[in-house]
Structure 1
Amino acid sequence: MRALITGITGFVGGHLAEHLIERGDEVVGLSSSGVWSGPSSHLAQAIRLEAFDLRVDSVESLTRLLARQRPDAVYHLAAQANPSASLSDPRETWELNLGGAMTLLEAVRASGLHPTPRVLLVGSGVCYGNPSPADLPVTERCPLRPNNPYAASKAAADLLGIQHALCWGTPVVIARPFNHAGPRQEDRYVLSSFARQVAEVERGTRPRLEVGNLEIVRDFTDVRDIVRAYRLLAEFGLPGEVYNIGTGRDISLTAMLEILRRLARRPVEVVVDPSRVRPVDQPLLLADSSKLRSHTGWQPEFKIEQTLSDMLDLWRSALDSQEDSSPS
């Protein structure tokens, strides 16, 4: 399969690219910078990267790019993906998350490729907002009640994808992953922040670990399981359909933090930092992924203990490398 990934230089994009290459796919990537950097730079030799900014570049230019690359599948990952950041800059969030999806779908429709590439639009489980107890675990039939600009813009992009499938026959499949984490995730996300802080406490460069609301309960999936689901959906998902992705297991931030503290090489003191508490946060979000499992056979392979251990080990290595490269 020949695949095109938007947002390939991001956290999930790098893991997806690795998985597709392992499966024998040929991969082309798009990013706004057109430059490999940081954790994804090792992919530079294996993947062609093209610069394209979905916020400003035209539908016509993307149409020409698609006609030139002729992908069998398009994985649309490019997004402003941080709920907290969306609260401080909602306009940019909407411009990329909805506007970028529109640019992509219009370009796919205009490309005239036969067969039309299958498009996997990556949404988010946070589109469901704060579900009622009767709606837990959350199925795809749960009402959308987004409570931040990130969630609202992703919900709108999902509806746009469904409209394209119903109106134009574009083979669009919607993925709604719930919380996911793994090695190479930025530390602006909660579990990566915890792992980095534990590694810093171990080194003696941080006195304690600072946290926000630990009572939140989530369904966390390893990113390596998430990208396996993406490829399965690109191959077997039904156009116009929505698929939740999650383990179906709930776990609190308190419990995940305790796993990291047990993995730590020295005692870790924890304090609450009020600035880390979001103004709006769902207390509980749990996925029902039975539709995904039924249509694709997907099952999660990584347990949360392995995910957290791998994240902590990578932060240890990253901090070691930073120290080795700093001026003496």
Structure 2
Amino acid sequence: MRILITGANGFVGRHLERELVSRNHEVFLGVKQIDKNEEIRRVKQSVDLNILDKEQVKSVIAFVKPDVIFHLAAQSNVMQSWDDPTYTLTTNIIGTVNIVEVVGELSLSTKIITIGSSEEYGITAKYTNKLTESSPCLPQNPYAISKFAAGEIAQQIAKKYHLNHIHVRPFNHFGPGQQEGFVISDFASKIARIEAGLASNSIKVGYLEAERDFTDVRDIIDAYVLLIESVVPNGIYNIGSGVSRSISEVLDYLIELADVPIDIEIDYDKYRISEVKNIVGDSNKVQQAIDWKPEHDFKDSLKDTLNWWRASVTVEI
């Protein structure tokens, strides 16, 4: 299949590209600015794509004529969404509208996968054991609101043009290649820098008792790929492990893997008790639709992430 990935230079985009290429799909990488230093395999099928420029979106999609679009391009950091809500809302909502609307206007039979977030459920997680696709969405931050709105408008535009559209809600995912700004990568990067002698042997932490549903990004990618290689009804699909793990448990295991002693220091500037202590998803719908389940062992995934940061920090020295 001919597949266009928006936001292809991001953490998930790079993993998705590798998996699609390994399965012999023809992949086009939509990036806001092509990096001439990228390896040639990536550059030769990269296309400049600013999702907020509708005419450019139309030109790219008309040129590629993709069988599938994975729409990954987004502002995806919750803290940054508070710093600049306008940018987050504009990028995530208007960018999605442009992608889906252009496919309809060009009368293409493209299958569109829009990437939402478990954050869309928001405070609902406080009142339910496991979040299903029918759980009410009560998003509590600009990023979550933008993803919920993007998914809703994408579904309505898809109905208008009779498009094949799936909106996925992945729960927390991590793995090699994830940059700082997300809890597991933040811990792993700090440990790697401590081991390399670039930081003191202390990690400052906030509230550690929050529990989240963590999945290896490579398992998330497997689900994405199966969704396009299978005949699946339009709609919303949760993707997650279905297992709740505390941030404390994650940190303890990463410290066990460390090559040097590490102290934990409470930073009261970071200590904000989460309003929603436990967030975990029910992925039965997607499991039944594509016969998918996570395959990576959680502790092995943490080790892979730490090892990736160790290699990255070595380059910095």
TM-score normalised by structure 2 residue count: 0.95
Match of 2:48 in 1: 51
Match of 2:150 in 1: 157
Residues 1:84 and 2:53 aligned together: no
Answer yes or no: is the 8 Å Cα contact 1:173–1:237 preserved in 2.
Answer: no
Answer yes or no: is the 8 Å Cα contact 1:161–1:240 preserved in 2.
Answer: no
1:145 to 138, 143, 154: 138
Look up the SS of the partner of 2:124 in the other structure. coil
Match of 1:284 in 2: 278
Unaligned runs of 5+ in 1: 324-328
Per-residue CA deviations over 1:34-63 (Å, capped at 9, x if unaligned) read 2266xxx447447511111112x12x3322
Per-residue CA deviations over 1:62-108 (Å, capped at 9, x if unaligned) read 22221211111000000000111101100000010001000101111
Answer yes or no: is the 8 Å Cα contact 2:50–2:56 preserved in 1.
Answer: no
Decide which moves more: 188-197 or 166-175.
166-175
Residues 1:28 and 2:28 aligned together: yes
Measure, in 1, the Cα distance between the counterparts of 2:36 and 2:233: 32
Look up the SS of the partner of 1:321 in the other structure. helix
Residue 236 of structure 1 and its aligned partner are, at CA, apart by: 2.8
Amino acid at match of 1:194: F
Answer yes or no: is the 8 Å Cα contact 2:125–2:279 preserved in 1.
Answer: no
Measure, in 1, the Cα distance between the counterparts of 2:273 and 2:294: 32
Answer yes or no: is the 8 Å Cα contact 1:202–1:266 preserved in 2.
Answer: yes
Residues 1:107 and 2:102 aligned together: yes
Paired residues, number: 316
1:260 to 249, 254, 257: 254
Amino acid at match of 2:117: S
Residues 1:234 and 2:228 aligned together: yes
Residues 1:297 and 2:291 aligned together: yes
Amino acid at match of 2:59: R
Measure, in 1, the Cα distance between the counterparts of 2:125 and 2:169: 18
Answer yes or no: is the 8 Å Cα contact 1:184–1:314 preserved in 2.
Answer: yes
TM-score normalised by structure 1 residue count: 0.92
Answer yes or no: is the 8 Å Cα contact 1:196–1:312 preserved in 2.
Answer: yes
1:211 to 205, 214, 234: 205
Per-residue CA deviations over 1:222-274 (Å, capped at 9, x if unaligned) read 00111111111223364531000001111000000011011001111011224
Match of 2:67 in 1: 72
Measure, in 2, the Cα distance between the counterparts of 1:279 and 1:184: 28
Answer yes or no: is the 8 Å Cα contact 2:49–2:60 preserved in 1.
Answer: no
Measure, in 1, the Cα distance between the counterparts of 2:282 and 2:191: 32
Residue 133 of structure 1 and its aligned partner are, at CA, apart by: 5.5
1:96 to 64, 87, 91: 91
Amino acid at match of 1:48: Q
Cα 1:46–1:31, aligned 2, differ >3 Å: closer, same or farther? closer
Unaligned runs of 5+ in 2: none
Per-residue CA deviations over 1:117-160 (Å, capped at 9, x if unaligned) read 00000000110002256532110000000000000000001101
Decide which moves more: 200-209 or 247-256.
200-209
Residue 215 of structure 1 and its aligned partner are, at CA, apart by: 1.1
Answer yes or no: is the 8 Å Cα contact 1:84–1:278 preserved in 2.
Answer: no
Decide which moves more: 313-322 or 60-69.
60-69
Residues 1:311 and 2:305 aligned together: yes
Measure, in 2, the Cα distance between the counterparts of 1:43 and 1:297: 35
Cα 1:137–1:47, aligned 2, differ >3 Å: closer, same or farther? farther
Measure, in 2, the Cα distance between the counterparts of 1:215 and 1:70: 47
Amino acid at match of 2:187: F
CA RMSD of aligned residues (A): 1.8
Cα 1:235–1:161, aligned 2, differ >3 Å: closer, same or farther? farther
Per-residue CA deviations over 1:270-290 (Å, capped at 9, x if unaligned) read 112244456965311101000
